[in-house]
Amino acid sequence: MKTFLIALLISLLVAVFSLLLVNCYYFLPTQTTQTVSHSTPPVTSTITSLKTTPSISSVVGTQMSSTPQSGNQPSFGGQAILTKCWSTKELEGTLADKKIIHYKHCPQSQPNCRKPSAGVMALSDNLGMVIPAGSQKILGKSIRSVQTVSNDKHIALTFDLCESAVEQSGYDTEIVNYLRSQGIKATFYAGGKWMQSHPTATKQLMADSLFEIGNHAWTHGNFRKLTLEEMQQQILWTQAQYKFLWEELHHDHCVAGLDPKLNQIPATPLTFRFPYGTCNQEALTLLAKFNLPAIQWNVVTADPSPKQSAKAIANIVLHQVQPGSIIVAHANGHGYHTAAALPLFIPKLIEQGYQFVTVSELLNSAQSIEAVETCYELRPGDNARYNKQFGKGTN
């Protein structure tokens, strides 16, 4: 009887934590009973078979490397770039890197903190992309998970690196150091302004073969409230900021003679994640125009809550993960106990036969993809209140 009660208590805790709200800047518990607005259209989950379509390496971006890793997977960077360009101490960083700085107004160092530099703006004018043949099957919808070929136990661990206009968010080097020490692959969804504030960290991440960087909009805008022009700016400015730093890395003297490794780094991010987990059909259509799959998640760690312990984060992941899962967490200082949680669930998942891959690798290994026609956190309508609460969400 005692064992039964303990198991029941654990199940109830997992259910409660599954409903917790997660995003880059705040944390509110989802109501136990939530009414979905009647104006919310029914969500159609599309399981798209990829058996007869081209490999996802041709689907997720024209900049994908043509030099695959084992298993026909896309490649990213190389250890030689890291060791030649940065010392071990520089890569490890310090706990101070995680610090978040808040401003009441744009600081003097960034007189217009809502826009990129002139050089990045110029790059953004030339980043329109054409949808390649075969990609329509996963573009224009929000991807939540995949079914992998032969039920391979591939999963994608993802971390958001977002930053508002009037803050400088952090960089959780403890997370990155643990992933590197264990050889764990991950995808970081970086905001354009975050990359502007953290140029060295961005170049280190893009140079590392373990990691992939995705687009998380310029200043964390709410794509349900932005105009079409504002949406385009949030997307393309971020693509351009990444490419600006990509070009800086390519011209750095430390990478001389490393062209094969450099050529494995995508020139622009290959996938996109909506801030707040919100979107509409206009936003999804725009992403499709730019050949950017919209990546959401099906496992929510709720790590922006200071009350969310490392053990609670680990329990959520261990109880909810399944082959093809996409896990969302944060590495910008808003994931309070995320670093401590990683050793609690990563070794256990490896023991169970799971393999951590980047999002592009996950898509490349997919037999089918679960994609929906709208965006939500765990169930349709659960983030509808953000429109009133945060408006455009770009401040």
Residue scoring higher pLDDT (270 or 63): 270
Among 28-42, 103-117, 371-385, the minimum mean pLDDT is found in 28-42
Say yes or no to pLDDT of 32 above 80: no
Say yes or no to pLDDT of 23 above 70: no
Among 130-139, 147-156, 199-208, the minimum mean pLDDT is found in 130-139
Whether 36 is in a domain gets the answer no
Q: What is the pLDDT of residues 81-130, one digit of tens each?
A: 999 999 999 999 999 999 999 887 776 666 567 778 888 877 776 665 44
Residue 109: its pLDDT value, please? Answer: 62
Query: In one letter, which amino acid is 26?
Result: Y
Residue 124: its pLDDT value, please? Answer: 77
Residue 237: its pLDDT value, please? Answer: 94
Chain-wide mean pLDDT for the chain? Answer: 81
Q: Which of 19-28, 35-44, 246-255 has the highest mean pLDDT?
A: 246-255
The rounded distance, in Å, linking the Cα atoms of 316 and 377 is 15
Whether 395 is in a domain gets the answer no
Residue scoring higher pLDDT (18 or 203): 203
Residue scoring higher pLDDT (14 or 287): 287
The rounded distance, in Å, linking the Cα atoms of 42 and 60 is 27
Whether 372 is in a domain gets the answer yes
State whether the Cα torsion 183-187-192-194 is positive or negative.
negative
Residue 123: its pLDDT value, please? Answer: 78
180-183 contact pairs (CB < 8 A, 24+): 180/91, 180/208, 180/210, 182/346, 183/210
Residue 55: its pLDDT value, please? Answer: 36
Say yes or no to pLDDT of 287 above 90: yes
Whether 95 is in a domain gets the answer yes
In this structure, what token pair is assigned to residue 370? Answer: 């679960």
Quickly state the pLDDT bin for 150 (edges 50, 70, 90): confident
CB 373 within 8 A of CB 138: no
The rounded distance, in Å, linking the Cα atoms of 43 and 65 is 34
The rounded distance, in Å, linking the Cα atoms of 248 and 244 is 6
Residue 135: its pLDDT value, please? Answer: 44
Q: What are phi and psi of 272, to 5 degrees?
A: -135, 145
In the chain, the number of structural domains is: 1
Query: In one letter, which amino acid is 115?
Result: K
Quote the pTM value: 0.83
- Per the structure, the complete domain to which residue 27 belongs is given by 2-31+42-390
In this structure, what token pair is assigned to residue 379? Answer: 């169930």
Whether 281 is in a domain gets the answer yes
In this structure, what token pair is assigned to residue 195? Answer: 């990359």
Say yes or no to pLDDT of 251 above 80: yes
Whether 37 is in a domain gets the answer no
Q: Residue 41 to residues 47, 48, 233, 249, 373: CA-CA distances in angstroms?
A: 19, 21, 27, 45, 9
Whether 50 is in a domain gets the answer yes
CATH number, domain of 64, equals 3.20.20.370
Residue listed under structure tokens 């890197």: 97
Residues in Cβ contact with 114 at an 8 Å cutoff, skipping those fewer than 6 apart: 106, 165, 218, 219, 394
